[in-house]
Chain A
């Protein structure tokens, strides 16, 4: 079965209203409970997806995504 490739795409959609700089806590407050399809039959909340991030604040989108992908 093909892997689902759209997780980052859907996360980015959920991030549409996020403006920077922003804290991890503020992101959680705004969209933490949003659900995102991460695999063919699997869904996670934004809260779960960004939980591994070790950083607390983000100056720009590039910093946020680097922190996420490097987590």
Chain B
């Protein structure tokens, strides 16, 4: 019985080591700014503890709606804007600790309480260098305005960070979109709830494997004040083969940490002969004689042709 991949990976691979820390907890379902402030202090405390527990870490990841949670009522009183003082505190903390951070906030769009579910990347100087608006809100419960693109940004140590948020990860096209944009690490902040533990594991593993990418999935953990659902935690960091590198506690606050090598992902995409999904999905049958080395692209699929088969017309 053969087990494992075929073909060795050729070439000399040079990569830096990216140390990632994720923090899972149960932010209060914020119904006022005082709740937001309490959550902010908890999360800042986690960042400090990460600096003590994992000295030298490069990237800190918080769960979805990390200082707002998802209360059934009163959420509109806790919406933030990009210049809110709470967000500023995370910029200052990233600069103080000289780390990058990924934080997800519910941002007010207008006075009618429209909002976006937005993840930001803060660099080690405290600058917001990237934002991503969740493209697949958890309908019908989540009323955020969907984003229109999933771009990536440069992170530390050779990382190219793509972000998808919670329910985004239930749609394979979201992972693929981030990977096609060049992500070698996909960050997935979530508020993933019971009873979907199996879906959580399946989607993270398949997202990593299908797209040959590291996945950092950080979930809320616990039954939060003012919330109806319980989140199970189990934050996880996965390798490009879909295997879990480390996993957080089930239902308890905790941190996870792993050392990743983003340059390996780039090398695999360039040097892998077999198991090269980012090549093979768009070069179907590329080892058949008529299409040798080229294959057929994705245009034969009908699933995502705008307005034809997606139910929008």
Q: Are A and B bound to each other?
A: yes
Chain A residues near B (Cβ < 8 Å): 12, 15-20, 53-55, 58-71
Interface pair B286/A66, CB less than 8 Å apart: yes
Who on chain B is nearest to A57 by CB?
A: B293
A69 to B283, CA, bound (A): 14
Count residues on chain B whose CB falls below 8 Å from chain A CBs: 23
A12 to B220, CA, bound (A): 46
- 12 extra interface residue pairs, beta carbon distance < 8 Å, beyond A53-B292, A62-B272, A66-B287: A12-B8, A17-B10, A18-B11, A19-B11, A20-B270, A60-B269, A61-B10, A62-B274, A62-B280, A62-B283, A67-B293, A68-B293
B125 at the interface (CB under 8 A from A): no
B274 contacts which chain A residues (CB < 8 A)? 62
Q: A61-B10, A63-B283, A66-B283 are in contact. Are A12 and B273 (CB under 8 A)?
A: yes
Who on chain A is nearest to B274 by CB?
A: A62
B7 contacts which chain A residues (CB < 8 A)? 12
A63 contacts which chain B residues (CB < 8 A)? 279, 283, 286, 293
Q: Taking the nearest CB of chain B, how far is it from the CB of A48, in angstroms? A: 17
**Ranked 6 nearest A-B pairs via Cβ:** A67-B293, A70-B292, A66-B286, A62-B276, A62-B279, A55-B293
A12 to B273, CA, bound (A): 10
Who on chain B is nearest to A19 by CB?
A: B11
Determine which of A12, A60, A68, A70 lies in contact with B270 in the assembled complex, contact meaning CB atoms within 8 Å.
Answer: A60
A70 contacts which chain B residues (CB < 8 A)? 286-289, 291-293
**Which of B276, B287, B292, B295 gathers most chain A CB within 10 Å?**
B292
B288 contacts which chain A residues (CB < 8 A)? 70
B276 contacts which chain A residues (CB < 8 A)? 60-62
Number of A-B residue pairs, CB cutoff 8 Å, is: 75
B271 at the interface (CB under 8 A from A): yes
A69 to B10, CA, bound (A): 18
Who on chain B is nearest to A66 by CB?
A: B286
Q: Taking the nearest CB of chain B, how far is it from the CB of A56, in angstroms? A: 10
Determine which of B11, B269, B287 lies in contact with A69 in the assembled complex, contact meaning CB atoms within 8 Å.
Answer: B287
Interface pair B293/A66, CB less than 8 Å apart: yes
Q: Write 23 A-B pairs (CB below 8 A) sorted by A numbering.
A: A12-B8, A12-B10, A12-B273, A19-B271, A54-B292, A54-B293, A55-B293, A60-B269, A60-B271, A60-B279, A61-B10, A61-B276, A63-B286, A65-B273, A66-B283, A66-B286, A66-B292, A66-B293, A69-B287, A69-B292, A70-B286, A70-B287, A71-B292
Chain B 287-302 near chain A by CB (<8 Å), digits 1 or 0: 1110111110000000
Interface pair A61/B273, CB less than 8 Å apart: yes
Q: A16-B10, A16-B11, A18-B10 are in contact. Are A61 and B293 (CB under 8 A)?
A: no
Q: Taking the nearest CB of chain B, how far is it from the CB of A23, in angstroms? A: 13
Q: Taking the nearest CB of chain B, how far is it from the CB of A32, in angstroms? A: 17
